[in-house]
Amino acid sequence: MNPEFKRNLWLVFTPQRLIVTPILLALVFASVAMFNKIDFVNNLYGLARIMFVFIVWFWGLRSANSSITNELRDKTWDQQRMCALQPWAMTWGKLFGATAFEWYAGLICLIVAGIFGWMAQGSSAIVNLLTLVSIAILIHALSIALNLHTSQFESRAIQQGGVGWFGLFILFIIWSVSAKWFAFESIDWWGMAFPAAYFLLFGGLLFACCAVFSAWRSMSNALQVRTIPWAWPLFAIVLAVYMAGFVSDTNSLYVFFTTALLVAVAMTYIALITEPTGLLVWQRLKRRQELGDWRGWLERLPLWPTTLLLAFAFALLASFNLTGWIGTPSLNLFFGLAPLGVALMLLRDVCVFLFFTLAPNAKRTFSSALFYLIVIDLLLPFLAQIAGLNYLRYLLLPVDLMNPWNGVFIMLIHAGIAFGLFCWRLRLRLRLRSELNTNFS
């Protein structure tokens, strides 16, 4: 048996829990059945589902979150890293071991819900229950992945309880979307109609697999097992395919390329602000480059450059794909160049962020960089707009339906200036650090 899984079983299970839990659940179900004997089938089905959600979703999320944060706070994580377990064994050992008691109680609820759900609704009830199980695995794995990823750069978040609360936000989105989709008999996706219940099951299984895979990749990084960052851009493509299918349009390729561009932009921002971007990262990359170790260079490459390149690729594809689709030349020009302007704006923001995070002897570089990005992207254009300074607003945020070429040209200047400042500061910091090391030696 997996030692990590076995260790968690010893921690979460006691003879009292094993015996008392099914007795208490049986008493609850019996009380509900006796309270309303006429419609006890639907009542037990509904109650069992609610109890599964409460026990496995919310209580299980807390246990999955604590499986990482408790070890980091108690200073026992280094012992885990030094053991002989491989990342995958450690991942599923924590994923299903730390939440084993919740799954034990939840399995009883699933059995009750399955029996009475089949009596009430037939096979559709089983599909709904499988969707609940997939969502539970999704949020548990996501909590582990987020805590492992956060622990690399922000120890204070771990000390304050981790970032498992983000799973509640994911739960809110899933619950809102599911409630809306269950109102329809079918869901249109890429021009095809699917039963709503089966499509929700498909989405739950898809993203549950992605979450488990991300937990494994995060565990590999935490255990110092180097990996090449191909999974992050691959997930961006999968997410783009999933999201673009809901947009009905005559030009499906343009819809996909535009959706993929927006997804790549969002994921670049997320990776940029949640990964270490200090001088040490660039020193390691420079060292790998000097040694000619390109695999090692890729293994030490952050995630954000992968989706940044992906954003430019999709921006160019979206621009070229619109030729001849929209009859009006001006609209052709605008829609064809707008994606490229978005990609250039992303490049500018990335360079601005890195410029401030590489500042020497600067405190709170992350918050300062984030503040300046908000000022450049939102505050200054808004103030120029309400002050009536249209030319200044256009120079800050060049969005113009009639002259898209000018807007792209101005954004290219922005990106060029930001990239030049970033390269200047990076070379300066690397040279100063090299001179300091030489003098010290």
Task: Kindly tell me if the per-residue pLDDT of 91 is higher than 90.
Answer: yes
Residues 285, 294: Cα–Cα separation, whole Å: 9
Task: Give exposure, 89-99, as e/b (b: 16+ Cβ within 10 Å).
Answer: bbbbbbbbbbb
The pLDDT of 284-303, averaged and rounded, is 91
8-22, 338-352, 365-379: range with lowest mean pLDDT: 365-379
Report the phi/psi class of residue 266: left, alpha or beta, with left for phi > 0 and alpha for psi in -120 to 50. alpha
pLDDT at 183: 64
Determine the 3-state secondary structure of 188 from DSSP.
Answer: strand
Task: Kindly tell me if the per-residue pLDDT of 416 is higher than 70.
Answer: yes
Query: Whose structure tokens read 């503040």?
Result: 371
Q: What is the pLDDT of residues 354-408, one digit of tens each?
A: 998 888 766 667 777 888 888 888 888 889 888 888 888 888 887 765 666 777 8
Q: Which of the four pLDDT bands, split at 50, 70 and 90, describes residue 279?
A: confident
pLDDT at 134: 94
pLDDT at 127: 93
pLDDT at 253: 79
The pLDDT of 36-46, averaged and rounded, is 84
The pLDDT of 299-320, averaged and rounded, is 91
Instruction: Count CB neighbours of 36 within 10 A.
Output: 11
Average pLDDT, the chain: 84
Regarding predicted confidence, which is higher, 241 or 404? 241
Determine the 3-state secondary structure of 194 from DSSP.
Answer: strand
Regarding predicted confidence, which is higher, 350 or 319? 350
Q: Which of the four pLDDT bands, split at 50, 70 and 90, describes residue 97?
A: very high
The closest of 405, 379, 403, 412 to 393, measured between CA atoms, is: 379
Task: Kindly tell me if the per-residue pLDDT of 207 is higher than 60.
Answer: yes
Instruction: Count CB neighbours of 275 within 10 A.
Output: 14
pLDDT at 331: 45
Task: Kindly tell me if the per-residue pLDDT of 210 is higher than 90.
Answer: yes
19-28, 162-171, 346-355, 431-440: range with lowest mean pLDDT: 162-171
Q: Which of the four pLDDT bands, split at 50, 70 and 90, describes residue 325?
A: very low
Q: Which of the four pLDDT bands, split at 50, 70 and 90, describes residue 224?
A: confident
Name the CA dihedral angle for 273, 275, 276, 278, rounded to a multiple of 10 degrees: -40
Task: Kindly tell me if the per-residue pLDDT of 440 is higher than 70.
Answer: no
Q: Which of the four pLDDT bands, split at 50, 70 and 90, describes residue 206?
A: very high
Task: Kindly tell me if the per-residue pLDDT of 196 is higher than 60.
Answer: yes
Regarding predicted confidence, which is higher, 103 or 80? 103
Regarding predicted confidence, which is higher, 389 or 127? 127
The pLDDT of 160-176, averaged and rounded, is 67
Q: Which of the four pLDDT bands, split at 50, 70 and 90, describes residue 114?
A: very high
Determine phi and psi for 192, rounding to 5 degrees: -120, 145
35-44, 125-134, 220-229: range with lowest mean pLDDT: 35-44
pLDDT at 69: 83
Q: Which of the four pLDDT bands, split at 50, 70 and 90, describes residue 177?
A: low
Task: Kindly tell me if the per-residue pLDDT of 22 is higher than 70.
Answer: yes
The pLDDT of 128-146, averaged and rounded, is 92
User: For residue 187, what are the β-bridge partners?
Assistant: 194
Task: Kindly tell me if the per-residue pLDDT of 332 is higher than 60.
Answer: no
pLDDT at 333: 44
- The proportion of the chain whose per-residue pLDDT surpasses 90, expressed as a percent, equals 42
Residue 413 CB-half CA count within 13 A: 9
Regarding predicted confidence, which is higher, 360 or 158? 360
pLDDT at 173: 72
